[in-house]
Amino acid sequence: MPNNNRKVVVIGAGIVGIATAYYLAKNHKVYDLVVIDKSNPMGLTSAQSGENYRNWWPRPEMFNLMNRSIDLMEEIAVETQNRINMTRRGYALVTRKNNVDVLVDELKKGMNDPQANNIRFWNESDSPSYLKSLTADWTKAPSGVDILQRQSLIKAAFPSYQTDVRSIIHIRRGGDIDSQQLSQIMMEKIKACGGKFVLGEIVGIQEKSGFEVEYHHDGSISRLATDVVVNAAGPFAGKIANLMGFDLKLKNIYQQKIAFDDVNQAIPRDLPFTIDLDGQTIDWTAEEAELLRAEADLSWLTEVMPGAIHCRPDGGPNRTWIKLGWAYNQRPDESCNGYKNDDFFPEVVLRGAARLNPNLKHYYGSLPARRVHYGGWYTMTDENWPLIGPMGSDGAFMNCAMSGFGTMAACAAGELCAKWITGDILPSYAAAFSADRYGNATLMQQLRAANKGVL
């Protein structure tokens, strides 16, 4: 039977912790809620979100989780007259390869549909029914996936791309949202139901007929007695688990982005969230490359770099900013102290993105003054899947390891964690995202073999 009468303390006031508390209150009438964090809500990694979402993932479990999360975001968009500014321009995965069979197979496996009737191929056909991303209105966007390989169509639909592009996989159920507005809507509901937000750094968690959570704030130690503890501590989830005697094998990797005012209108405002899949050598001049090679700490910037550079318009069709990101860093950092932005990153990501969008070359060495350079922590398991569900002791739960996809997963992850806590009926994908998956040798072997990082 569902148990909705217990007190719950959620550790972590990022979007995932807030969503967990929100769905406990909204769906299960759990009102004795405390969300605690040493920073203000949405103050750390969630404040640095790329604010993107997509339903394409290479396995059906992730596909179903993300589809559910998008369903829930759409519900909020409808209920609030799109206060979260949801768009639906989609994701464009771009490559200079003609053969994209591997990616198509991943699409089919992810959708768990061998026929894949919602995958549409555009090569030599002259059918006029392909729809460009002409509107940000998510209610009018098509579903499914369009695979473009007809060169005339690619040039017409994506005129800003370099002419060497041979294939575009346009994921249609994707776009961006305002994560700060999403969190604000959720916090309003939590507070209206009697839930509280508390500032404090967790220093101890003891099992005492439930749990006693000790936290430090303003030079003093306070304690909270609770029936349930939820570890939604983002990059600090491993440390919180250790306080409870549970070993979470997580790693934190810092990834950076830039946003700036596109004064030269280099990127069309209707461009989908674009990912250049291909690796490359950055477009340095001969003199720049020579100087970089002479610096031991920077010489790697002249070598072949991985793919998956991100580019998208930011702020809607009537704004002028764009965002660029490149999650090439693979060095774990256990300290998670502050922001660790590299001075050279803006120029690196700009030159990387200019390979696909050559109009960006106008900004070489002269990025606009109105720009922001920021970053956040990707907290992940080795297999790069989230952990949602029980965490060892009775009454202990986790909702963590979101690895850069926390914003898009938050609603479904919060809903799922709330179901675990209250003993509600679980969806089919629940076990795959819990610690139970480590007992499934076949699944773990497949995940570790397939893990190529997050887009």
Q: Which domains does the chain have, with CATH numbers?
A: 8-51+179-250+382-450 (3.50.50.60), 91-174+252-380 (3.30.9.10)
353 and 276 in contact (C-beta within 8 Å)?
Answer: yes
| Residue 452 three-state SS | coil
CA dihedral 359, 361, 365, 367 (to 10 degrees): 20
- Residues 373, 258: contact at Cβ < 8 Å? yes
Per-residue model confidence (pLDDT) at position 2: 55
DSSP state of 221: E
The residues pairing with 57 across neighbouring beta strands, listed in sequence order, are none
- What pTM was estimated for this model as a whole? 0.94
For 39, which DSSP code? S
What averages of pLDDT result for each successive group of 10 residues across the chain (455 residues)?
A: 77 96 98 95 72 91 96 97 94 97 89 70 75 82 93 94 97 94 97 96 93 94 96 96 94 95 95 96 94 94 96 86 94 81 95 97 95 93 96 95 93 98 97 96 89 49
The whole-angstrom separation of Cα 377 and Cα 299 is 25
Which phi and psi angles does 208 have, rounded to 5°?
A: -145, 90
Q: How many CB atoms lie within 10 A of CB 154?
A: 19
Distance from first CA to last CA of the chain, Å, rounded? Answer: 39
Cβ–Cβ < 8 Å for 34, 198: yes
